[in-house]
Structure 1
């Protein structure tokens, strides 16, 4: 890929200062084992020196300052050394959104040991498949606190393909935290609610952003709408990261809920959010901030502040986003180093520093990024390319359909046909009437040929639509309440 992907629109913003977004004290910087200062703000010991008395972690039954959190992390680090943790080897740990996992991850970051966070909800087979990517382990050489050393290896969600082991450096985490802060900003009273698993980049990046900014993280091990609303109110949460399925459940289960005034941004990423969901959230006063990113970009690289931008917003400072052949490409210091697989790290950005995301999208005249789907999810029916996301948007516009998930179904004549799982507001619409409604809005290849009415769409554990499971359900030769 060329430095300027062929003839396409490109958006770029100047890089932010990579230091933490607050003036540090004159306390000495934390030092690596070789005696050199740690080159970034990702140190709980430094946070204890600079903001020791400030609140750092809020969890059920626990309120810890940065000084107290550093002490807990030091104890955990000693336990890790007794367990044989080695900076030369990646260290798998099972984590969830709780205080124990926060302390464990901060200890690994402080020691310069590459964390491999594994979701506590995974089955044994899922865990084994993930760890198989690291057998033998990739090479980890040099100073444990070198900016290019891996801080973590995180696994992609794998909604349409086998999960990949993404290698992310300290440089990527520090740059991502600084870029996000330069747009979102930090206030003295900010508290970020962590209700995403820190085994995924969306959750882990919340922790590193708060560490870099010396701001408290509030953990909620299990997302549940009533509990979420209570924590946001009682703990005066100002920032939270959600995926669209979480927001949709919150609005559906709590129709009378309105966010408190202190909640200033709900970052919405992980999957494309439908316009109906965004409109309903805004109508109820939710300060939604759609963003775009991936594990490979160390979380979001664009951000649309509430009421300030279209789509997923413009790129963060220091990040370039371009479109080549319809696909979004990213360049900047936030990018990953490569994928860990079979004892090596490979497949990172190209020689010009660009990474092709595999997402289909566009950049508008204001420089805002719009994501329309995944290139690898395209359905090819009779030689025609069909975007599942585009069909889903049309289906959600039908008055009787609350939600939809589209996938390709193998077909002897057409290669694939479009299939759709639908969730209805009441009785399912009559098939002839629905066909007539769709005929006015979709081409022949894009119109669903197989249907299944379900109570809820299949989701991954991260709350993303599970298109692979949808395809399996739709491939059933005679699914209940289906049309052919």
Structure 2
């Protein structure tokens, strides 16, 4: 038995309460009726449909919702791309088994009808897309933090008071720093914080719980399998085992196939522990949308000769990305110093990557090699 296509089901869901607020962002409130009106307007234009794969990495969540509801029901979330070029994963109609898995996830992380959900995770990726569509399906007002500067994120959180906050570890870490700078005397109280798409370190988990007085959940999964575990416990319909140090998962989203996900263990109680990626690479504190594009973007700047993007260990995040920039050897020392103080300063280069490729692609550190070295 197949259920309705995702877009059809969500359109019907929104139509039952047209005045309900479905999204809050820097542009204000978006109500269900207004969202459906935009869907109908796009459909009447007769242009080629926009796909999720066509949207930029930091597309606002209202654009993501509009794209899904105006589409043909096929979802194409992108993988994180932390070990290579991001891939798309096609999703068709939802089956009863898949729905049971998703409902179990929402129950465990505290998503209930009417509760406000704030998201830091880009909606074109599996994590952010799942939370955005889940909020719409459960009639949870969705707060879009994905494309906002740090100060505006804190202001929007203070205004909306979400019950659930979700993001990658790198996003949550950045939010802690932003709250310390811009929070003022209005301490945020967020009952549930949901981390996904990368390893959540014990230190970051403790910091989130203490700062927001939150119950922190670590959700593990992949684009191909969907969400697998919450705090190490498998979701409904998920079968996961460890063979020769590799985790193998079969879920309602894998069409009966058993897929290798990552390195890890499963203890006698069935609790899953992830130890690292199956290919031996190191996650960089969050996803990098297009590592090669980060390099190309930085190399295209005036005065830059070569760029190397690598991952180094980090006591707080587990790992961090470092962009090693070598300046053009033909530059005079004076010109090199002037560029490093202005257009090529670490802050300027990180801001450039954030603007062009999204927050999760930003190197956490920029190091320079001077001309001639």
User: 1:22-421 counterparts in 2 under 5 A?
Assistant: 38=4, 43-79=9-45, 82-85=46-49, 92-95=53-56, 96-108=59-71, 112-113=72-73, 151-171=74-94, 174=99, 176-255=101-180, 260-261=188-189, 263-284=190-211, 285-298=213-226, 300-304=227-231, 313-335=232-254, 352-357=256-261, 359-377=262-280, 392=313, 396=315, 405=319
Classify the secondary structure of the residue corresponding to 1:74. Answer: helix
Shift of residue 186 of structure 1? 3.7
Seen in structure 2, the aligned counterparts of structure 1 residues 182 and 273 have a Cα distance that, compared at 3 Å, is: closer
Partner of 2:327: none
Shift of residue 271 of structure 1? 1.3
Shift of residue 154 of structure 1? 2.6
| Residue 360 (structure 2) aligned to one of 460, 463, 470 | 463
Classify the secondary structure of the residue corresponding to 1:169. Answer: coil
Contact 1:157 1:462 in 2 (8 A): no
Classify the secondary structure of the residue corresponding to 1:155. Answer: coil
Instruction: Give the Cα–Cα distance (whole angstroms) in 2 for the partners of residues 254 and 231 of structure 1.
Output: 12
Shift of residue 83 of structure 1? 1.0
| Unmatched 5+ stretches in structure 1 | 1-17, 19-35, 114-150, 305-312, 336-348, 380-390, 397-401, 408-419, 422-453
Seen in structure 2, the aligned counterparts of structure 1 residues 200 and 406 have a Cα distance that, compared at 3 Å, is: closer
Instruction: Give the Cα–Cα distance (whole angstroms) in 1 for the partners of residues 92 and 162 of structure 2.
Output: 29
Shift of residue 78 of structure 1? 2.0
Deviations along 1:92-112, whole A, 9 cap, x unmatched? 53250242342232211xxx2
Contact 2:22 2:32 in 1 (8 A): yes
Instruction: Give the Cα–Cα distance (whole angstroms) in 2 for the partners of residues 280 and 325 of structure 1.
Output: 34
Shift of residue 200 of structure 1? 0.9
Contact 1:44 1:66 in 2 (8 A): no
Instruction: Give the Cα–Cα distance (whole angstroms) in 1 for the partners of residues 76 and 5 of structure 2.
Output: 20
Instruction: Give the Cα–Cα distance (whole angstroms) in 2 for the partners of residues 40 and 163 of structure 1.
Output: 23
Classify the secondary structure of the residue corresponding to 1:376. Answer: coil
Instruction: Give the Cα–Cα distance (whole angstroms) in 2 for the partners of residues 404 and 479 of structure 1.
Output: 33
How many residues are paired up? 309
Q: TM-score with structure 1 length normalisation? A: 0.54
| Unmatched 5+ stretches in structure 2 | 283-311, 324-345
Q: Which has the higher helix share?
A: 2
Seen in structure 2, the aligned counterparts of structure 1 residues 331 and 53 have a Cα distance that, compared at 3 Å, is: same
Contact 2:65 2:132 in 1 (8 A): yes
Instruction: Give the Cα–Cα distance (whole angstroms) in 1 for the partners of residues 362 and 260 of structure 2.
Output: 22
Contact 1:168 1:296 in 2 (8 A): no
